[in-house]
């Protein structure tokens, strides 16, 4: 977790129009974010890579991934994170379903369900 991503999570969770039909309250969303943050490692970014992604606002995610040494970025926003000018092949960008399938493939000896 990094500063920019934390602020983005906070901003999204405070948009009441997004959660108008949500069964959980703003307080419960805050508690959920706090629980999530309690298992995150805080990563400082000391160097801006600027991969020049199609959405400038997503560059910080790739920078955080590089600085944190992640094994993958899991997001539904794969199109914006795949295709910058600066490519990090060692950091695959995958959807949550692709990620779960990769875990199932590893745990079942390479067999897909």
Confidence band for 36, pLDDT divided at 50, 70 and 90: very high
Cα dihedral angle (87, 90, 95, 101), rounded to 10 degrees? 150
CA 37 to chain CA centroid, nearest Å: 13
Angle ∠(66,35,32) on CA atoms, nearest 5: 105
Percent of the chain at pLDDT above 70? 89
Cβ-count burial of 36 within 10 angstroms (0-12 exposed, 13-18 middle, 19+ buried)? Answer: exposed
Q: Average pLDDT for residues 93-107, to the nearest whole number?
A: 88
Q: What is the pLDDT of residues 45-91, one digit of tens each?
A: 876 767 777 778 888 888 899 889 999 999 998 888 877 777 787 88
Query: Which phi and psi angles does 85 have, rounded to 5°?
Result: -65, -35
Q: Is the pLDDT of residue 111 over 70?
A: no
Q: Is the pLDDT of residue 108 over 90?
A: no
- 53 vs 31, 82, 91, CA distance in Å? 32, 8, 14
Alpha-carbon dihedral sign for residues 30, 32, 38, 39: negative
pTM of this prediction? 0.70
pLDDT of residue 112: 47
């Amino acid at each position: 977790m990094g500063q920019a991503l934390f602020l983005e999570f906070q901003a999204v969770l405070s948009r009441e129009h997004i959660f108008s039909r949500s069964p959980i309250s703003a307080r419960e969303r805050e508690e959920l974010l706090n629980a999530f943050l309690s298992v995150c490692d805080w990563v400082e970014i000391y160097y801006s890579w600027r991969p020049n992604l199609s959405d400038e606002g997503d560059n910080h995610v790739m920078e955080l991934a590089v600085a944190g040494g992640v094994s993958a970025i899991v997001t539904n926003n794969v199109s914006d994170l795949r295709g910058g000018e600066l490519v990090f092949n060692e950091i695959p960008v995958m959807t949550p379903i692709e990620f779960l399938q990769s875990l199932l493939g590893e745990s079942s000896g390479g067999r897909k369900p």
